[in-house]
Amino acid sequence: MHGSILILGSLLLDNGEREEWRRSHLSIDQKVFVRVPVRYGRRSNSWGNTFTITLSSDGSAGSAVLVPNKANIPDVNTLIGEARVLWKAEKRTVSQGDVGASWGCVGVLFRAGVDSGGWLQVWAKYFGANAHAISPVDGNGVFQIPWPTTLDGAPVDKDLILAIAAKAEATRPSVQDIADAWLSQNQGNERYFFENVRHGIRTPDDNLIWRRIEERNPHWLGNTSYAEPIALLQSEAAEFSGTPTTTDEASPSH
């Protein structure tokens, strides 16, 4: 089967072990942007208790990155192996065989009409022994979200997709909550938001989040490494309001 990994946030942004995983397991030069339901929903200790992106069964479509596996997936044992490697890239320190923890798990999504040849039963049994369901992944380890489409609206031409589901907060954070988490810190954790924008990982709330950040004008907006994503956000805000943009750096949204 032709498989791909759906990537949100740090799996695409971080270097080190995650860079090695991308290089050895993924055809990163063949990545495409896809529409999937995403939102900022999980507080992350590793990002200074600010919010990170989660897949959501009840969210509006944003965009994420879909990257093909370097090799085809000929059988369910290979699928399980790719899931284990993906989880290790996400969590880094894992027990052998794990594909989940209390805060997240690996899930699979099969394209409608694909003959999995009994793969689902084997995967569900393995998932049940090595992970716990985290919404929007069900007890069989299967994502309960629509099959992704390209930004042009075409269904993704792959047989299966693996991705990470991360446990969202029990109370859905507001746009103000999300923005204020970055505004109230000074350790560089706002990088997560700007690097997501730079790499085309977008939520439907990005422009509202940006509006609050821009109004508060924290000192880190002067960080020159954020110039490209800030220009894009300013361009989108101007387009939304009908005000012409004044920057030459602005580029169209993914």
The pLDDT tens digits for 19-52 are 889 999 999 999 999 999 999 999 999 899 999 9
Query: 134: which 2 tokens?
Result: 């985290």
- What angle, 0 to 180 degrees and rounded to 10, lies between the N-to-C axes of helices 76-91 and 119-130? 30
Domain boundaries, the chain: 3-166, 175-241
Average pLDDT, the chain: 91
> Would you state the pLDDT for residue 93?
76
pLDDT, average across residues 165-191: 96
Torsion sign over Cα 84, 69, 198, 154: negative
Which amino acid does the sequence have at 109? L
Q: Which residue has the higher pLDDT, 67 or 241?
A: 67
Measured over all CA atoms, what is the biggest interatomic distance in the chain, rounded to whole angstroms?
57
pTM: 0.90
pLDDT of 246 > 70? The answer is no
Which amino acid does the sequence have at 214? E
Query: 228: which 2 tokens?
Result: 């490209």
Q: How many CB atoms lie within 10 A of CB 153?
A: 7
- pLDDT bucket at 60, cuts 50 / 70 / 90: confident
pLDDT, average across residues 85-94: 86
Query: 3-state secondary structure string, the chain?
Result: CCEEEEECCHHHHCCCHHHHHHHHHECHHHCEEEEEEEEEEEEEHHHCCEEEEEECCCCCEEEEEEEEECCCCCCHHHHHHHHHHHHHHHHCCCCCCCCEECCEEEEEEECCCCCCCCHHHHHHHHHHHHCCCCCCECCCCEECCCCCEECCCCECCCCEEEEEEECCCCCCCCHHHHHHHHHCCCCCCCHHHHHHHHCCCECCCHHHHHHHHHHHCCHHHHCHHHHHHHHHHHHHHHHHHCCCCCCCCCCCCC
> Would you state the pLDDT for residue 239?
86
> Would you state the pLDDT for residue 15?
76
> Would you state the pLDDT for residue 243?
52
Summarised one tens digit per residue, pLDDT across range 210-240 is 999 999 999 999 999 999 999 999 999 998 7
pLDDT of 253 > 80? The answer is no
